[in-house]
Amino acid sequence: MANESTTIEIGESSTMTKRTSHVVVDEKKKGFVAATAGGGYKRGLAIFDFLLRLAAIVTTITASSVMYTAEETLPFFTQFLQFQAGYDDFATFQFFVISIAMVASYLVLSLPFSIVSIIRPLAAAPRLILLISDTVVVTLTTAAAAAAAAIVYLAHNGNPNTNWLPICQQFGDFCQAVSSAVVAASIAVVFFIILIVISAISLKRH
C-alpha cells in the first residue's frame, strides 16, 4: 500500500510540474509579445520624432537666416540721411536671430538621442532627456517668436498713442522678410509641442 501511495504521489507531482511549466512558458510568451508590440509602437513614434526634428531644423535655420538677411534701403536719400532698415536696428530682432540659431544648433545635437530612441525604443533615458530639453528650448523659441511678433505688429500698424508711425508702407520688403521669419519660428514652436507630446506618450508605458 505504501508503494502504491508513493507512486500516485509522484504522478501527481509530475503532472503539477508540467502544468506549472506550461503556465510559466505561456506567461513568458505573453510578455514577449507585449514587449515586441510596445517596442514597435515606440519605434514608430521615434521615427516620426526624428523626421519632425529634421523639419524643425530646416524651419529654424530658415527663420534665423531670413531675419539675419532682412535689410532694405530706400531709393531716395538726402545729403545727411539715408533711409535704411535692417534686423540689427532692433534689439528684439537681434535676440530673435541669436535665440533661433541656438535652437537650430540644439536640434542638430538632439538627433543622436532621437536615433538611439529608434534603435532602442524601450529605453527611457534618451526619451526623458529629450522631453526635458525640448520643454526648455520651446520656451526660448516661444519667447523669441513672441517678442519679434510684437515688433512686426508695430512695424505694420504703428501705435497712435505714442506717435509711432508704421514703416511697412515704405519698407515693404523688409517687413515681408521679418514677418516670414516670425511665421517660420511659430511653426517651429508647433513642432516642439508635438515633439514633447511624442516623448510624453513614449514614456507613459514605462
132 within a domain of the structure (yes/no): yes
119: helix, strand or coil: helix
User: Each residue of 90-130: pLDDT tens digit?
Assistant: 899 999 999 999 999 999 999 999 999 999 988 889 999 99
Predicted confidence at residue 70, as pLDDT, reads 87
Cell of 118: 529608434
3 within a domain of the structure (yes/no): no
- Interhelix angle 172-204/91-119, rounded to 10 degrees, is 30
SS3 for the chain is CHHHHHHHHHHHHHHHHHHHHHHHHHHHHHHHHHHHHHHHHHHHHHHHHHHHHHHHHHHHHHHHHHHHCCEEEEEEECCCCEEEEEHHHCHHHHHHHHHHHHHHHHHHHHHHHHHHHHHCCCCCHHHHHHHHHHHHHHHHHHHHHHHHHHHHHHHHHCEHHHCECCCCCCCHHHHHHHHHHHHHHHHHHHHHHHHHHHHHHHHHCC
Domain that holds residue 98: 32-70+88-204
Q: What is the pTM of this model?
A: 0.76
16 within a domain of the structure (yes/no): no
Cell of 169: 508702407
121 within a domain of the structure (yes/no): yes
23 within a domain of the structure (yes/no): no
User: Each residue of 170-193: pLDDT tens digit?
Assistant: 888 888 999 999 999 999 999 999
Residue 86 forms beta bridges with which residues?
71
135 within a domain of the structure (yes/no): yes
Q: In whole angstroms, how far apart are CA 89 and each of 51, 83, 149, 157, 178?
A: 36, 12, 15, 18, 12
Looking at the predicted structure, is the pLDDT value of residue 169 above 80?
yes
Cell of 104: 537650430
Give the number of domains in the chain.
1
User: Each residue of 26-68: pLDDT tens digit?
Assistant: 444 444 344 444 567 789 899 999 999 999 999 999 999 999 9
How many Å apart are CA 162 and CA 146, to the nearest integer? 21
Question: Which residue matches cell numbers 516670425?
Answer: 182
Predicted confidence at residue 63, as pLDDT, reads 96
Looking at the predicted structure, is the pLDDT value of residue 82 above 90?
no
Looking at the predicted structure, is the pLDDT value of residue 10 above 60?
no
pLDDT band (50, 70, 90) for residue 199:
very high
Looking at the predicted structure, is the pLDDT value of residue 69 above 60?
yes
80 within a domain of the structure (yes/no): no
114 within a domain of the structure (yes/no): yes
Q: In whole angstroms, how far apart are CA 170 and each of 85, 86, 88?
A: 10, 13, 18
